[in-house]
Structure 1
Amino acid sequence: MKLSITILFQHAQDNDECRIIFKTFFGLIRYTILIPLIKVDESSPGIVFLHKEKLNHRSESPAKRKKYDPREIIHSFKETRDFARHVIHLHVIIRKFMARVSVTKLEWSTNIGTGDAAQTGIAVGIGWTLKYGVVALVSKFMKLKTKPLLSITPSFQKAVSETKITCMIHFRIGYAMLAGIRILKYWRGNRLKLKSFVSRQANESY
């Protein structure tokens, strides 16, 4: 049984939107997460997410607002680091799972400009370097079964910052379960810590 995940991200000036669509059972089960707003809170340091959820073709759930301040973000990184230290050869487990993930669509278009020709040229060069680097990583760790469609349109007359990413991946759920079993098998230390970590991540997830 395959799980297909489609990630749609769009950034236009100060407006961001991210849509993640999960499909399985030949598309009969469809779960959508919509994050229509991602921004930095100006009143106090932190990142604010406003997200909605929808199962199959039912109406969307009420919008939920979640804010992460720098302390929470740093704490999440530390928890992830501690988790990695407790699993023997975690990088091997992850690489084996990622090798089973197929990328069937990858499109990334960008419109960028600073209003200055020289600075715009530098930004375009950095953009191409970033995009080729991401594609190289994807092709190294996953099965890239499609030709990436990449484009950058420079804007020399005015300041513009727009980008749109469409990515579609799929893998068999059995491989994800196998990776989870391997993590349990090679976990060193108290199993209660693992349960506590998973529980916290589930409570904080979308």
Structure 2
Amino acid sequence: MSAWIWILGAFFIIGVVVGLAAISPVVVQLHYVHHQGADRVTVDFRGLWGIITKHWVLGGEEALQTVVERAVEGARKLDEGPAASEPAKAGPEEGLWAWRRYADTGKRIARLWRTQEGARHALRNFLKRVHIKTWRAKVRIGTGEAASTGVVVGVLWSFFYVMAALLARRVRLVSPEARVDPDFQRRLIEVEFEGIAQFRAGQAIRAGVAMAIALWKEGLLWRITQSKT
């Protein structure tokens, strides 16, 4: 009899721990700075009411370029399957070939997004429960010529308004803050962005499981795991 009491007690404690973990808030803070041609990305993760914390820093132009290239290569393999093992081209067209791959990535992601209804539904349900507490962007830009600088500033303001409207439709978003400062004398671009998002750990786990099931039904889960190897 005492053994059953210990077993039930252990299951009860495990259930309480899992339940507390599921309802615990997860806070992700992103800070990006582009200044004088250098980039720096800082990501802070906090879960279980601050018991679990993680801090990532990614800096340097080469480091960010490596991340982008890996993401592009992963999307290409996911879209094209095992036949996407074509080696990168060498020679004077290497740079042009890389930029073509970057441009094609958006098309592949859009095509996958249109075809995967189950994964899309799971992601949308999760985003409805995400609360963006901070969305702050600051840009200082100049082209070296007053007229074109004014045009670029106008385009950036339009971009910020469109992004805020799109985010407000998908997530719970507080009033975003944006600032664009023109520099009519110099050619430069300086960017600073800060965002803080909060959601429940259980909601993220549920969305991840739903997306994995949807991708498995479509036969894409195997291709994702194969692209990591």
Per the normalisation by structure 1, the TM-score is: 0.74
For 2:26, the aligned partner's letter is L
- Asked if the contact 1:87–1:188 (Cα under 8 Å) also holds between the matched residues in 2, the reply is no
1:95 to partner: Cα distance: 0.8
For 1:120, the aligned partner's letter is T
Question: 2-side partners of 1:85 and 1:129: how far apart?
Answer: 26
Alignment partner, residue 72 of structure 1: 73
- Asked if the contact 2:78–2:223 (Cα under 8 Å) also holds between the matched residues in 1, the reply is no
Task: Note the residue ranges of structure 2 that are not aligned, 5 or more in a row.
Answer: 1-23, 81-107
Deviations 1:1-44 (A, max 9, x none): 1110000001113111111111112222211111112349xxxx
1:152 to partner: Cα distance: 0.6
Instruction: After TM superposition, list the pairs within 5 Å mapping 1:34-113 onto structure 2.
Output: 34-39=57-62, 48-49=65-66, 68=69, 72=73, 75-76=76-77, 78=79, 87-113=116-142
Alignment partner, residue 199 of structure 2: 171
1:200 to partner: Cα distance: 4.7
For 2:65, the aligned partner's letter is V
- Choose 1 or 2 for highest CA Rg: 2
- Asked if the contact 2:132–2:195 (Cα under 8 Å) also holds between the matched residues in 1, the reply is yes
1:197 to partner: Cα distance: 1.7
For 1:15, the aligned partner's letter is A
1:138 and 2:155 are equivalent in the alignment:
no
Question: 1-side partners of 2:114 and 2:185: how far apart?
Answer: 50
C-alpha distance 119-39 of structure 1, shift in aligned 2 (>3 A):
farther
1:90 to partner: Cα distance: 2.1
- Asked if the contact 2:77–2:227 (Cα under 8 Å) also holds between the matched residues in 1, the reply is no
C-alpha distance 123-189 of structure 1, shift in aligned 2 (>3 A):
closer
Percent of matched pairs sharing the same residue: 23
For 1:75, the aligned partner's letter is R
Alignment partner, residue 56 of structure 1: none
Alignment partner, residue 15 of structure 2: none
Alignment partner, residue 6 of structure 1: 29
CA RMSD of aligned residues (A): 2.9
Question: 1-side partners of 2:65 and 2:199: how far apart?
Answer: 31
For 1:194, the aligned partner's letter is L
1:116 and 2:133 are equivalent in the alignment:
no
For structure 1, which segment, 31-40 or 174-183, has the greater mean C-alpha deviation from structure 2 after superposition? 31-40
Task: Note the residue ranges of structure 1 that are not aligned, 5 or more in a row.
Answer: 41-46, 50-65
Question: 2-side partners of 1:7 and 1:36: how far apart?
Answer: 13
C-alpha distance 14-77 of structure 1, shift in aligned 2 (>3 A):
farther
Question: 1-side partners of 2:217 and 2:135: how far apart?
Answer: 37
Q: Secondary structure at the match of 2:61?
A: strand
Question: 1-side partners of 2:186 and 2:142: how far apart?
Answer: 6
Q: Secondary structure at the match of 1:68?
A: helix
Per the normalisation by structure 2, the TM-score is: 0.67
Question: 2-side partners of 1:84 and 1:154: how far apart?
Answer: 36
- Asked if the contact 2:78–2:227 (Cα under 8 Å) also holds between the matched residues in 1, the reply is no
1:15 and 2:38 are equivalent in the alignment:
yes
Find 1:27's aligned residue among 30, 44, 50.
50
